[in-house]
Amino acid sequence: MNETYVTLRGWLGGEVRHRLAGETPVAEFRLGVTARYFDKQRSDWADGETAWYTVKAWRQLADHCRDSLRRADPVMVHGRLSQRSYVKDGVERTVVEVTAVSIGHDLSLGTSAFRRTSARREEPRREEVAAGAAA
């Protein structure tokens, strides 16, 4: 199946909501993406319309979002784009969602500190590899 992948650069519109779907962690947040353009009449940069996306992250990425992201953080999101429509109060609405593959702070706007989690498989140290080869 062909899927559309996108990379979005925006700002968290609120706190990350974290929950369990069965036994699987899922995090969800709204991401505001505002286009910028140069207004020749004012000779200055201006904001365009803000598009809002629902971003969902699953499993370990969900836990990392919960522990790392806060409201108004600038972030980059890469993931699968999907769209669905529904009717509420007689009005048809469309929701655009991104199922994240990777998420990180936008370092063009500030700094961040990275901490590797213990769940990642650790590489053997050089001494251990050398000792194993000598045996």
The mean per-residue pLDDT over the stretch 98-117 comes to 92
Q: pTM to 2 decimals?
A: 0.77
Averaged pLDDT for residues 50-63:
96
Token readout for 97 is 């969602």
Give the HSE-up count for residue 88: Cα atoms under 13 Å, Cβ half-sphere.
5
Structural domain containing residue 95: 5-134
Distance CA 126, CA 128 (A): 5
The percent of residues in the chain predicted with pLDDT above 90, rounded, is: 70
Which tens digits make up the pLDDT trace of 74-93? 999 999 999 999 999 999 99
CATH number at residue 126: 2.40.50.140
pLDDT confidence of residue 126: 52
3-15 residue pLDDT tens: 899 999 999 999 9
Number of domains in the chain: 1
Q: Degrees (nearest 5) of the Cα angle 69, 51, 93?
A: 110
